[in-house]
A and B are shown apart, each in its own frame.
Chain A
Amino acid sequence: MNEGDAIPELKVTPDKYLPHRYAGASGDFNPIHIDDEFAKQVGLPRNILHGLYGMAQVARANVAAAGGDPRALKRLTVQFRGMGVPEEEITVSGTVKQAGDTVVVDTVAEQGGNQIIRNAEAELRLD
């Protein structure tokens, strides 16, 4: 990977029940993620994705870019911004900002024109 290279894009469309499965898997049952009615009552457009689910997609895109070995991912920093929603495609894209044995990738996750994760920086160790 050279400086300026794009990493392969990762595209994923979380289905309607994904937040429920992620809630069970992660233990985060905050009703804004799994109760559409509650989410609307607190002013959200609908029930929203867990931010850490989005971060997991950013992690997956970077592990794939490193050849698929999860041990290559040494560090990942993200900022959560816009809210992600189920049933809309998420695209994770990234650009190599530092090449070498340790590769640093600037990554974003975008959905419907909104960046749901930005300023994400991944550090990959390539042996």
Chain B
Amino acid sequence: MPVDDSAKGKTFPAASYEVGKEKIREYAQAVGEESEVYFDREKAKSAGFRDIPAPPMFAVVYSAPAMAPVIFDPEVAMNFAAMVHGGQEFVWGEPVVAGDTISTTVEVKDISERDGKGFYVFESVSKNQDGDEVVRATWTNIVRGV
């Protein structure tokens, strides 16, 4: 059975996420970040950040509210139980800091089939409260046995 690609091009409404200092701390500790800029506001400011910065890969945290509805969308119809995360790209822009509100939109870029596997490619674009792009991400999920 060929993979259903009818959701290709579908876009999702923006989901927003307010970045908190203590959430940055929790994330930074979990991934082993050691730089003081993630834990000390004065250090962050003297390094030229507007406030405590988020580590680059914190992008997964503020993108999550936008990505969850896509993964479970009935039109996208991705078999979550057979899904693996195949690849990921982030392109960073303006740094994200505590106090920012990040708004993320998602588009289904591609749904295709190769060697009996379904490839689901989503692109998300995240902007801060000033409209500056903070991250553009490509999420590739692979579903076995489509």
Contacts and interface: CB of A to CB of B under 8 A. Distances in A.
B64 interface: yes
Contact of A78 (B30, B87, B92, B95): B87
Q: Is the interface of B mostly helix, strand, loop or mixed?
A: mixed
Contacts of A28: 60, 64
A124 B32 CA distance: 20
Interface of A: 12, 18, 21-22, 24-28, 51-53, 55-57, 59-60, 63, 68-71, 73-80
Interface in B22-61: 23, 26-27, 29-33, 35, 37, 47, 53, 55-57, 60-61
Given A56-B31, A59-B57, A73-B56, 16 more contacts: A18-B30, A22-B31, A25-B30, A25-B61, A26-B61, A26-B64, A28-B60, A51-B88, A53-B30, A59-B55, A60-B32, A60-B33, A70-B95, A75-B91, A78-B87, A80-B87
A27 B88 contact: no
Contacts, number: 81
Given A22-B30, A57-B32, A80 B85 contact: yes
B35 A68 contact: yes
A93 B91 CA distance: 21
Interface residues of B, number: 29
B90 A75 contact: yes
Contacts of A71: 95
